[in-house]
């Protein structure tokens, strides 16, 4: 067994103490060395299995930012302040149209804060499942994203209809409507809440609204909340599309920040591969980091 430091560097003269004391010192050093070696071995074992033991640790920083960072609140207020500015500008320069005005908004992480669900996954060391998501939805405890309630109430007061298009399952319509009403969001009848049946893409549901309404604005945290151009696209293509549509953002498209999850991760970083284990995901995340 190797010592963690050489005996000849000890700060005492080992030759000037008794044999008994020498033995006691050596035994003590052996005990310390073995204990330290055990800690090192445990660390190695932990490192080897960390992806099985702590599968959600990578998400801690994102959830903390969503829940505690004043910057998240600031960006949310900024988004809805800008949305109000654009709405007022449109109403001032209103063009003649036979269709009533409407705004389409996503729900989760756009007007609902579901970060406690993500925090629960971290603490319970579990990944997303339909079952644990359904359990959260049934609690009806989602809270409003800062600025969302005030803006949608203002829009409704100006005669603008609100349509909620979300990829929550239509099986959760009752709980979703109830949660919206508890918070006080306007126009929450089932006609204005279009949840997912079998198709995740939102374009079909948007077209239902487009047929009878003049949609002047869309709100979302995921680019697929705005256009099907972004559906199932890689990171490179998503970024190129954003560049080509840059004038839409801050005008017709209002984006909310969500670092916790989204197509940027599943379709972008992981390239639509849902069968990856935690170790593979970690390797991909690190491989795609841009460093110098």
- Please check whether residues 23 and 119 belong to one and the same domain: no
pLDDT digits (tens, 9 = 90+) for 196-245: 998 889 999 999 999 999 999 999 999 999 999 999 999 999 999 999 99
Of 46-55, 127-136, 195-204, the range with the lowest mean pLDDT is: 46-55
- Please check whether residues 110 and 16 belong to one and the same domain: no
Q: Is 290 inside any structural domain?
A: no
- Please check whether residues 82 and 184 belong to one and the same domain: yes
Q: pLDDT band for position 33 (50/70/90)? A: very low
- Please check whether residues 175 and 251 belong to one and the same domain: yes
- Please check whether residues 112 and 232 belong to one and the same domain: yes
* Ordered alpha helix ranges (H), the chain: 19-53, 60-68, 70-92, 115-124, 130-139, 148-157, 173-183, 203-212, 235-244, 263, 278-287
Q: What is the pLDDT of residue 95?
A: 67
Q: Is 8 inside any structural domain?
A: yes
Q: What is the pLDDT of residue 51?
A: 52
Cα–Cα distance measured from residue 105 to residue 26, given in angstroms and rounded to the nearest whole number? 72
Q: Is 282 inside any structural domain?
A: no
Of 59-73, 89-103, 202-216, the range with the lowest mean pLDDT is: 89-103
Res 38 pLDDT > 70: no
- Please check whether residues 113 and 221 belong to one and the same domain: yes
Count of other CB atoms within 10 angstroms of residue 2: 7
Q: Is 251 inside any structural domain?
A: yes
Tell me the average pLDDT across 47-75. Answer: 87
Q: What is the pLDDT of residue 49?
A: 56
Cα–Cα distance measured from residue 109 to residue 105, given in angstroms and rounded to the nearest whole number? 11
Residue reference for tokens 């049934």 = 138
- Please check whether residues 107 and 16 belong to one and the same domain: no
Better-scored residue on pLDDT, 196 or 36? 196
Q: What is the pLDDT of residue 198?
A: 86
Better-scored residue on pLDDT, 5 or 48? 48
Q: What is the pLDDT of residue 21?
A: 55
Q: What is the pLDDT of residue 97?
A: 72
What is the span of the domain harbouring residue 143? 70-261
CATH code for the domain of 224: 3.40.50.1000
Tell me the average pLDDT across 8-34. Answer: 48
Q: Tell me, rounded to whole angstroms, the distance of Cα 232 from its chain centroid.
A: 18
Q: DSSP string covering 77-129, please?
A: HHHHHHHHHHHHHHHHTPPP-SSPEEEEE--BTTTEE-HHHHHHHHHHT----
Q: Report how many domains make up the chain.
A: 2
Of 31-35, 163-167, 201-205, 249-253, the range with the lowest mean pLDDT is: 31-35
Of 50-54, 99-103, 242-246, 247-251, the range with the lowest mean pLDDT is: 50-54
Nearby residues of 284 by Cβ (< 8 Å), 6 or more positions away? 269, 270, 276
pLDDT digits (tens, 9 = 90+) for 138-175: 999 999 999 999 999 999 999 999 999 999 999 999 99
- Please check whether residues 115 and 189 belong to one and the same domain: yes
- Please check whether residues 137 and 213 belong to one and the same domain: yes
For residues 104 and 254, the answer to whether their CB atoms sit within 8 Å is: no
- Please check whether residues 4 and 129 belong to one and the same domain: no
Q: pLDDT band for position 20 (50/70/90)? A: low
Nearest-5° angle of CA 212, CA 218, CA 222? 130
- Please check whether residues 36 and 113 belong to one and the same domain: no
- Please check whether residues 194 and 90 belong to one and the same domain: yes
Q: pLDDT band for position 93 (50/70/90)? A: confident
Q: What is the pLDDT of residue 174?
A: 97
Q: What is the pLDDT of residue 145?
A: 98
First-to-last alpha carbon distance for the chain, in angstroms, is 41
Cα–Cα distance measured from residue 20 to residue 236, given in angstroms and rounded to the nearest whole number? 72
């Amino acid at each position: 067994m190797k010592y963690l430091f050489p005996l000849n560097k000890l700060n005492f003269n080992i030759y000037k103490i008794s044999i008994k004391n020498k033995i006691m010192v050596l035994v003590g050093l052996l005990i310390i060395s073995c204990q330290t070696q055990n800690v090192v071995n445990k660390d190695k074992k932990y490192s080897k299995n960390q992806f099985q033991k702590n599968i959600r640790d990578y998400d801690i920083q994102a959830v903390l930012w969503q829940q505690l960072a004043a910057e998240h609140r600031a960006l949310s207020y900024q988004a809805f302040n800008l949305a109000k500015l654009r709405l007022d500008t449109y109403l001032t320069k209103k063009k003649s149209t036979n269709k009533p005005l409407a705004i389409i908004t996503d729900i989760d992480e756009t007007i609902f804060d579901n970060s406690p669900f993500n925090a629960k996954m971290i603490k319970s060391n579990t990944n997303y499942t339909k079952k644990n998501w359904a359990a959260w939805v049934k609690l009806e405890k989602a809270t409003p994203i800062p600025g969302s309630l005030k803006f949608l109430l203002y829009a409704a007061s100006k005669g603008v209809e609100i349509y909620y298009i979300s990829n929550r399952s239509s099986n959760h319509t009752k709980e979703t409507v109830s949660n919206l009403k508890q918070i006080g969001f306007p126009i929450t009848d089932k006609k204005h809440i279009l949840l997912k049946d079998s198709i995740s893409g939102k374009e079909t549901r948007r077209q239902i609204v487009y047929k009878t309404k003049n949609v002047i604005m869309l709100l979302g945290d995921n680019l697929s909340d705005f256009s099907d151009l972004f559906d199932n696209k890689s990171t490179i293509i998503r970024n190129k599309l954003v560049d080509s549509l840059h004038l839409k953002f801050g005008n017709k498209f209002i984006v909310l920040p969500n670092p916790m999850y989204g197509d940027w991760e599943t379709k972008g970083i992981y390239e639509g591969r849902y069968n990856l284990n935690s170790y593979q995901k970690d390797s991909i995340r690190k491989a795609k980091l841009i460093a110098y």
